[in-house]
Every structure is written in structure tokens, then in C-alpha cells.
Structure 1
């Protein structure tokens, strides 16, 4: 078998067999197939696409390219959640404790943020003492004891995906549904979950900008999961404006705590309850979405979700005092108000621009090796649909930098203010299952 023949086949629209895909992925992971040939293959896939069976085979080839996690020691149906990434997306910090409080085990591996989107691992590391790496025995014990644990992804989990993603990033082949879907699902399969709920973000702050693209990606990932005997559900959620009011690591942890206390922004709470309901149904805790939603609202109001979050933080070495006093989280030295220069209604808040502004403050990374400042970020005081008068505070910058004029300008530009109140856009567009 020769890689050049496989490239030619895919270039000409011939479907690749499981054996051929395993040959390509294993050879590339081992360094036996060079970057230039895998680049050519990625471009051939970009133009010719793949059928459902091909995508499933590619997913398994990548999942089996390195370590796979065995969750056999965890009792019950293990449910995982994955978000395709957004701005202000702290849903895992809320959803996982709610699902765990309902008795469904969540053994979650999360990533770090890159670019304008944040990462759950970075948010948790803003908690003093929190350990994002646990020995496998403790990871499993924590899930059995507390129904949840959350760690960073193993360095050798689906290594083919890491190598291929880096290659796609510099060869203009990122935006390919088969390659995106297999990338996401290979990590989920390697992580060992029995059921997977996908939060597919769509809008200006998401990777998928249009609902049509997001639906295609969601349907492809659900199809992959089902073909590999994993119950898989995809929720398409809105990311045209930042989720919640806080963007930045410690700020988002504090906002998650506020939601678990029963407060918080309505749209953030809504998507969290929807995701948690689907996860608990997939885990067998409730017979229907409606029953799950009702029960989870009760768990939220009773404080059980907050109590589970506290146990989770303490079990992983973090300071549980932040649950009672979020002021113990890192605080920026400066708070700068960005004020409206016209009146009307907020018609849009460009999520990507807000995410980039937070990254420039130090809340995110332009490159993987960049250091994170956990204390900085942006608090949004006005969201889409809110009335605005001249001089009202639109947002507050939390900064440790002396010069913030450019950030203020970027935030101001992210806001569109007009005469008419815009129609409300639902936070959940549809569910694919």
C-alpha cells in the first residue's frame, strides 16, 4: 500500500477503505508518511468530502492512534459533553455539577483555550490550588465518589488529531466537515464515554458561522457517534453574542457560581438546563427531556448543584472557599468602564470581537505557549435588546495593563446600537439526535 495511491484515489472521488485510512493515519503518526503527503490528502478530502462510513473509519483511526481511556471502573452510564467553542462559554462549570447532582457520572477531559475562544481548563486553573492533572485511579475514584471529575486532555490522546489539526491550520483545510467532525469525535471516543452531548455553537463568535454549516456538522457527528454505538445528541446553540455577562477565566468561574446559586443571565441558564437535561436522559436518570428539565430546575434551586461543585473543587485540590466568596478568585488591578456614545437599543454584540479583546488583555492565547492572566477579562453590562442612554456603561474592562484605549475602542466597535429593539433570538436553535 502506497500513500500516493490513496491520495490519487481520494483526489478522483474514490472512497477510502478502513484499512487504507488506518494505514494513512498510523503511518503519519509514526512519522513514516511526510507532512506534504498528508497535506495533499487533507486537500483531497476538503474538495471530495467523505461518506458516513469513511468519516467513522477516519474517526476510529485517529482515536486509536494513541492512548485510549478506560472508564470501566466507573459505575453507571458515563456521559460526556463537548462544546465546539465560543466566547463566555462557561457551560461545563454549570452543566457538569448539575448532571452529577442528578446521579449521572461525568468523567470529563477538557482542553485549553486558543485564540478568541476560552478553555475550561484555564478557567478551573484560576482557582487557587486546583489540580487539572490527576492519576487515573484518583480520577475514577473522584467520579465514583462525587459523580464528576474534570481533567486536562492526555498528551497522547488521539495524537494523530493534534498533528493533523496543526497541518490543516497552515494548509487552508480547517473548514472541512469530515475533518472537523472526525477531529472532535476521535477525542470523545478515545476518552471512553458511553454517551456524548455536543454543544455546536453557531454565529459570529463560533467556528461555524451559519446555521446550515452547524446543522451539517452536527448531523455528521451524531452519525459518527451512532455508527460507533455511542448515544450522541447535538444541540445547536447561538453564539452571535457572548454567552452570559463575563468573558475571562476567573470572571467566568464567578458567573458559573452565581448561576449554581440560582441567579445569572437567563440565556446562560437556559442552555445549561437544556444540555444537562439531554445528558441526564442519555445517562438513564430520567425517561424524557421534559422530566429531566423539571428535575434539574429543582436541583438548581435547592443548591444541590452548587454543593456538588464545591465537593468537586475540594476533591481536586482547589480552594472551596471561592464558592462562598468568589472575591477570593484572582482580581485585576484596574476596572475601566466603556461608555455608550449614542442612545437606542443594543442590536448586536459581536462575540468574536469581544473574545479577541479579552485575549489581548491576557485572558486568552494567540499562540499555544502564551501565558494566561486569570484575573483579566470583560464584564458586559449591556446585552442584545437592552435599552441604552448616552454615557451608559456598556462593559467593564478588567485589566493589569496601563494602556487600554485600543481595547476600549474594540469593545465599543463590537456594539451595534440602533433605534429599534431587535427581535429576540433563541439561545437553542434546534436539536439533532
Structure 2
């Protein structure tokens, strides 16, 4: 007896340890997605690439310095009576070297505009990264609660399958003693067969959700825990709308793209203005004539360039840049409208989920009471087998709908945080080193 008790305790401890090791909280899953999701990693690399635009734009303020060197062999033959034999044939080894320095002084504001363009493009890319981060974390969170939901639904359906099996067996026993008819047995069997089909469907849906979980987070889920909705929800729909217009990544992208387009108008217009450069040159030439010689030359000069006629190309580009700027303004307005729509939908989805949970909780309480009453009435013959089966189905449906509503509430809270730009590792206080 002691040996059996020891084995039972050991097995229980082992199972508990395995569950603890494989358990994964909601924040664990989001952290894993933040660190390992390839789509997010690609977006970060794209931002690092875009940040090089600043260095490229700053290059317009810096000088250019070049050094060139060329050397070769030159054979020279001079004919004529006046040429001495010593100078008639000459082998020359010419060497030329140049050191050139150029510094732009004024370029019509092109460099300043290029810096504005680079900064706005980087900020727009950061907003795109923020949008990608939110999409990845939202996908990870939704995959987590989908698995939790489908596991709960599968458990309910399997429990219902077992209940209906016992109901079928009890109905057959009552049929044997003549208490019920063959129709009652057929109804019980039909409900049991239907419960098997629902269990199979639930299991397939769970497999699909597990596959989605692995795709987003990186591996299959372990033991997941029930999730509570995210907190720090704004107190009103108008507050959600205001925050979304200010902080949602979609609006930020559109706003910085509009600034980029405005700066590109300035950059293009600079092509119509004069430019001033200072250039310096040091050069040396060896053996440039029949007489061995070396020539050193040094000069520095200012260069003024005034564009007079450019075939209309620059003005065409300027008109196109202005139209693109107008386009980006309209896209910003459209983005604000989409932000209003998404924030309103997220708010209503959360309210709907709260109302559904309250109603379904009350429905479950009532359906449980009704089922007990129908069972008692069936024992005395005032209710049929079908009445009992219907009451059990109503209770199952209410429980399944509650599980789904609780999942929808968590998703709605994530949608609301995403609408206001807060569904990020920093906004959720994940235990990670934030990418910056």
C-alpha cells in the first residue's frame, strides 16, 4: 500500500513539474513573438537601412577630396635636318598626379531639404515598424486566446459527448423496460452522434489554432492559461478617438509621409536656384616635353553656377512633387478617417463583449436550473427524452458561447490598445530590451 502511494505521489509530482515547465503565460508568448518573429526582425533591419539616409544627406555639407595618378611610356621620333641626332628619338615616361578639393557653399537649400526628407522618411519608417510590432503582438495574443478558447470548447464538447453517451445508455435501458419508445432512443442516439461530430470539428479547429500559434510565436503552445482583458482602457469613446488620431501608427505614417513630400518639393525647387562651390587643385606633371621637366600647378577658385534653361525638366519634376504632396495630404485625411473608424469599432466590440458575457452568464445560470428541473420532471413522466436533450444542448451552447465571448473581450481589448498605438512591448511592459 505504501509503495502504491509512493508511486502515485511521484507521478503526480512529475506531471506537475512537466506542466510547470511547459506552461506559457500570455506575456511569455508575446515576449517570444517580440524577440523571434521574422517579420518584425525584417522590419527592424529595414529601419536600420533607412537610418543611413541621414548620413547620406549630411554628406551634402562635407567637402569631396580626390587624388588621381597616371603614368605611362611615350616614344617620340622627330625628323628633319635641323634636329640633332641626340634629340631625334626620345623615350619619355610621363607622370601626372592631381589632388582636387571641392566644397559646396550654397546649393539653393538642397542639402537642408535633403536632411528634412531623410528625417521624415526615418520617422515614417519607425511608425511602420511600430505598426508591424503591433500587428505581430496582436497576432500572437489572438493566437494565444484562440488556442485557449478552442481547448475549452473541445473540453466542453467532449464532456457533452460523455453526458450524451450516458443519456443514450440510460434511454436504451428504459426502452428495454418499456418506459420510452424507439423514437426516444433514436433521438438520444442522434444527439450523441452529433456530439461526436462537434468534438471532431472542435479538435480540427484547435489544430488549426495551434498551427497559427506556431507560425507567429515560433513553436507549438504548451499549457496555456486563461487570459484576462488588457487594462488601462480609456474611459470614453471620444478619448479613444483623440488618442488614436495622435498616436496610431497608421496616422503617424501618413503624417510623416506628408512631411517627406513637402520637403521633397523644397529639394526639387533648389534645382532652379544658383549654387556656389569652392574648388582647389594641386597637380604635378613629369616629362611632358622632349626636355626632361616637371611642372607643379596650384590653384583655388570660386565657382558660381546659375541654371538658365534646363529643358523644362526641373520644373516638370517640381510640378510632380507638388502633386505628390497634395496626394499625401489627402492620404493623411483618409488615414484619420480610418483611425476614427477603427477606434469606434474597437470600442463597440469591447462593449458588445462585456454585454454578451453578462447575458451569457445569466443564461448559463438559468439553463442549469432549467436542466435540473427538466430531468426531475422527466423522471415522473411529465417531460420527454427530447426535452432533456434540448435542455442539455441549450446549456452546452450557452457555455460555448461564453467561452467565445470571453475570448472576444480579450481580443477587443487588444484591438483598442492597437487603435491608440499602445499594443507594443513598451506599452505592455514586456520584460525585454526594447528595440530603439
Output the TM-score relative to the length of structure 1. Answer: 0.20
Give 1 or 2: higher helix fraction.
2
Higher RCO structure (Cα 8 Å, ≥6 apart): 2
Structure 1 or 2, whichever has the larger Rg, is 2
